[in-house]
Amino acid sequence: MPRQRPAGAGKVVHRSARCDLRVSPIKRERCFALLAAGGDVWACVLELNAIRRQRGAWPIASYQALCRELSLAGPGCFGELSSVAARSVLRRYSDAFFSAAKARRAGDASVHYPRRRRHLMSLGFYAGTFSLEGRRLTLPVARGAPPLVVSLKRAVPYEMSQVRSVTLGQCAGRLFLEVTAEVPVQANDADPARVAGVDLGIIHPYAVATTSEALLVSGRALRAESRLHLADSKARSQATARRAPKKGQRGSRRWRKVRASQRLAEASHRRRISQAQHEAAAEVISWAVARRIGTLVVGHPAEIARRDAGRRQNLAVHNWRMAHLLSTLSDKAEVAGIALLTVDERGTSSTCPECRSRTSKPKGAHLLLHLVRAPRPS
């Protein structure tokens, strides 16, 4: 039976958007101090459970028990970190622990319990604990600390009444805010009986087909961006190879600056690729809405990722980001009120759609393709 991703049972669905922060050097230090304090909370939980394992006691993993341990620590033990932000770290640890326990009970021994420390941890704040007015955000801090007010580089794409939570994080030294909101499902006159098949591709992200026409979203611009970034990374590595520290060495301050610039380039490349893939998924959904398509059937290429097809093809599949393409399309389809089904695509190209028997592909078969080029990442 195909796995179905429901289009949302209620009137609203949860969506998130990322906004970069514009802060002064002092506020930047305070934000990173809060993220480091969140890492300290994570490390304390790991250390506490390590001690309990040595004594033969059960680890503390439930969210309620972890919150009781946090209350026993007292206020101010993690700097300016508020109890709301600390509880968000405890919630993440509890979810990771029980997810690993569920996977291991199912027989997946490759999943491990959370035991790795992290220097910086993202902090979540639920509605009512923060203040967001336009581009001005006020985050809660510990009692006695001055208020922390930061500015966003762009306005939040949701109404203030729809915002439910915000998450403070960092990527390659850049502070960002992830805003989660409740977005109403669009009222489209889509017909669930109208079905379109979607194929995920390595070069072209999406290929959609119905009984009469089809859509192909070109990914040549994405491929060009990846190749340019690869050439730039090779040139940068060759130029800095002599200054690279040996194993066991920390590296000079100059080398750390080089590594910081490399991480910024990698993060910028990932953002451009992700934005282009979001725009490609939006093009597919708008095409389906214009044709009143109510169901999208996506072939899930899970078996391809597990197959050893050689060094070059394995690298191409690894860089494919098929899960991101599928989740992006699923999220936008849910907002548009379109159901999305994932099926096993093994043997679909050699199966007759009428008699369901395996046959070879007939010669001269053509599809009416509507070519749409994905915008070049900026």
- Ranges of beta strands (E only) in 279-338 are 293-300
Which one-letter DSSP state was computed for residue 101? Answer: H
| Element spanning 125, H or E | strand 123-126
Average pLDDT over residues 158-165: 90
For residue 33, is pLDDT > 90? yes
67-76, 202-211, 309-318: which has the minimum mean pLDDT? Answer: 309-318
DSSP 246: P
Q: Give residue-wise pLDDT tens across range 100-109.
A: 999 999 998 8
Please tell me the predicted confidence (pLDDT) of residue 10.
52
Stretch 211-234: mean pLDDT: 87
Assess whether pLDDT exceeds 90 at residue 307.
Answer: no
In this predicted structure, the answer to whether residue 6 has a pLDDT above a threshold of 60 is: no
9: pLDDT strictly greater than 60? no
Angle, helices 253-290/220-240, rounded to nearest 10 degrees: 180
Measured CA to CA, the distance from residue 378 to residue 376 in angstroms comes to 6
pLDDT tops 50 at residue 276: yes
Query: Domain segments of the chain: what residues?
Result: 12-184, 188-242+260-373
Lowest mean pLDDT among 88-102, 155-169, 308-322: 308-322
pLDDT band, very low/low/confident/very high, at 362 (cuts 50, 70, 90): low
Q: Given this model, what pLDDT does residue 47 score?
A: 95
Q: Is the pLDDT of residue 251 over 80?
A: no
pLDDT at 374 over 70: no
202 phi and psi, to 5 degrees? -75, -45
Quick one: pLDDT at residue 360?
A: 67
Q: Is residue 41 scored above 50 in pLDDT?
A: yes
CATH top class, domain 188-242+260-373: alpha beta
Contacts by 265-270 with C-beta closer than 8 Å and gap 24+? Answer: 265/229, 265/232, 265/233, 265/236, 266/172, 266/233, 267/171, 267/172, 267/174, 269/225, 269/226, 269/229
DSSP reduced 3-state for 136: strand
Among the listed ranges 74-83, 115-124, 156-165, 345-354, which one has the minimum average pLDDT value?
Answer: 345-354
Asked whether the predicted pLDDT for residue 373 surpasses 50, the reply is no
> To the nearest whole percent, how much of the chain has pLDDT over 70?
89
- Report the chain's terminal Cα–Cα distance, integer Å: 41
Residue among 282, 274, 17, 34 at smallest CA distance from 154:
17
User: pLDDT tens-digit profile of 336-359?
Assistant: 889 998 887 776 666 666 676 776
On average, the pLDDT of the chain sits at: 85
Residue-level pLDDT at 369: 43
Question: Could you give the C-alpha distances from 128 to 125, 144, 160, 168, 189, in angstroms and in order?
Answer: 8, 19, 12, 16, 36
Higher pLDDT, 249 or 256: 256
Give rounded-to-5 percent helix, strand, coil for the chain: 40, 25, 35
Worst-scoring range by mean pLDDT, 130-134, 257-261, 292-296? 257-261
For 170-193, the pLDDT digits (tens) are: 988 889 999 999 888 888 888 888
pTM over 0.95: no
Q: What is the DSSP letter of 350?
A: G
Residue 7 one-letter amino acid: A
Q: What's the whole-number mean pLDDT along residues 113-140? A: 93
Distance of alpha carbon 66 from alpha carbon 91, whole angstroms? 9
